[in-house]
Structure 1
Amino acid sequence: MRPRTVKQIPKHWHAILLEKVLFYKKLSKANQDVFKKRIALFLTEINIDGVNTTIDETDKLLIASSAIIPVFGFKEWSYNNLSGIIVYPDSFNEDLQFSDIDKNRKILGMVGTGRYEKQMILSKKAIRLAFNNKTDKHNTPVHEFVHLLDKMDGETDGVPEYFLGKEYIQPWLELMHTEMENINNDTSDIRKYGGTSQAEFFAVASEYFFERPKLFKQKHPELYKMLSLCFQQPKQS
């Protein structure tokens, strides 16, 4: 069993999270305390290592926040399908190479497979950008953690069967396919990558849901209801 207890939470975490993580800032004081405890637990369970880059405390807090945001609605959660996170300085290619001269170096984050099973690879630059821009509906690390949640039922297919009751699967599929068609017809404000596959739609829509919840609810009320059900998110102040 992984450890489920933490030492005293450093007081200075609050200031960092308040400045950097809008989701945390909107929580009640009681829920902020829970969020910090969940972060501390995550950091005891998951190894975070930098490759050709230094990972400081803020980086770790941002990565952990990205992990906790999608599962904060669940009382207890351990990412049993994740053992470690590898952080590269910038984008990388499909072979996990990040040379500056490589023109195919476009990937900002991915969930590993094969020999990288149970690993996540993230770009440090993308982690920082995800929390510096609070209005762009985009958060690479949250995106990758949603892929992990999608994978809980055995497949990364954009259908979160592990979290939605069977009666909601067909309505979800219908909503997803309709909105993917809208994306591909340039009639949706969900970013284009969400139209490339069901798995990417789920992750991209979830980014929007967590980054700009009020706007997402206004623009996509049915999707908002479905994702609220899926993630069981608490009401924010």
Structure 2
Amino acid sequence: MRPDLLIIVLVLFLILLTWWMFFRKPKTDLGQFPPAWRDILRKKVAFYRDLTEAEQQRFERAIQQFFKDVDITGVEITLDDTDRLLVAASAVIPLFGFPGWRYHNLNEVLLYEGTFNHDYQTEGKERDILGMVGTGAMQRMMILSRKALHAGFEQENSKKNVGIHEFVHLLDKADGATDGIPEVLIERPFAIPWLKEIHEEIREIKNNDSDINPYGATNEAEFFSVASEYFFKQPELFHKNHPELFAMMEKIFRQDLLD
């Protein structure tokens, strides 16, 4: 072979090798979804029950991928499959409108039995925290109360779900600022009307003219997470009481919960 042709062949080979190593999407064998896990989801997760069969299969694959990406650890407690599945379901629900998306800013979820304080202590004063996205030394970690996690799924008529709340915070934080405007989800022209809607809703909460959890009036970030809990837990009621906000959140999460 001529030297110039050999060089071209080698260059093309190196280009193909580089693409294969760095840009191809590896096929991950997630295996079969255990029937026992499916039974737990049907029993515990209303969002999952309302999906079509094909959507349920996609939900299951997303849960398996979450288990591969993120460690779930009990702090002085022993976890079971239900604990882990409820954590994963909390993560999958907000991202279900974005197939293939993953939480690249999370390595581990810690489960405490009950409430804790800002120093992550389970004893002493000011133990009123149910969930938290870690910062500083706890960066890329999340902490949840197991009792609160379960209550969020078992109390189907409530508007609260601490797991969804914290994973929405994590989505909000993905752009570097936890400010109620998740740039990974919101297109730039949509940010201003979204922020205006937030401020209007916060004013209504402060005037006792809203059924949204008053904690949502703390700031824009807490409003986004609190409203998201309500949106996913009680979509019909949310749509009835807050139609404009509901329409905006459908666009943000790319989900039609009333279909």
Kindly provide the CA deviation profile for residues 186-220 of structure 1, in whole angstroms up to 9, marking residues without a partner as x: 10000110001100000000000000011111111
1:84 maps to which of 77, 88, 108? 108
Pairing 1:148–2:163 present: no
Gaps of 5+ in 1: none
Cα displacement (A) at 1:236: 6.0
Pairing 1:62–2:112 present: no
Cα displacement (A) at 1:233: 1.4
Q: Give 3-state SS (helix, strand or coil) of 1:48's partner.
A: strand
The corresponding residue for 2:128 is: 106
Please give the TM-score of this superposition, normalised by the length of structure 1.
0.96
Q: 5 Å matches for 1:15-94?
A: 15-94=39-118
Q: Give 3-state SS (helix, strand or coil) of 1:87's partner.
A: strand
Cα displacement (A) at 1:164: 1.2
> Identity rate of aligned residues, in percent?
47
What is the rounded CA distance, in whole Å, between the counterparts of 2:147 and 2:128 in structure 1? 12
The corresponding residue for 2:21 is: none
In the TM superposition, structure 1's runs of 4+ consecutive aligned residues that sit over 6 Å from their partners are: none
Q: RMSD of the alignment, in Å?
A: 1.4
Pairing 1:215–2:242 present: no
What is the rounded CA distance, in whole Å, between the counterparts of 1:129 and 1:57 in structure 2? 16
Cα displacement (A) at 1:171: 0.6
CA contact (8 A) 1:27 1:236 kept: no
Count of aligned pairs: 235
What is the rounded CA distance, in whole Å, between the counterparts of 2:92 and 2:219 in structure 1? 25
What is the rounded CA distance, in whole Å, between the counterparts of 1:188 and 1:157 in structure 2? 21
Pairing 1:162–2:184 present: yes
Please give the TM-score of this superposition, normalised by the length of structure 2.
0.88
CA contact (8 A) 1:137 1:211 kept: yes
Cα displacement (A) at 1:103: 3.1
Gaps of 5+ in 2: 1-24
CA contact (8 A) 2:236 2:258 kept: no
Q: Give 3-state SS (helix, strand or coil) of 1:154's partner.
A: coil
Larger Rg: 2
What is the rounded CA distance, in whole Å, between the counterparts of 2:200 and 2:256 in structure 1? 27
Cα displacement (A) at 1:3: 7.9
Q: Give 3-state SS (helix, strand or coil) of 2:174's partner.
A: helix
CA contact (8 A) 1:5 1:41 kept: no
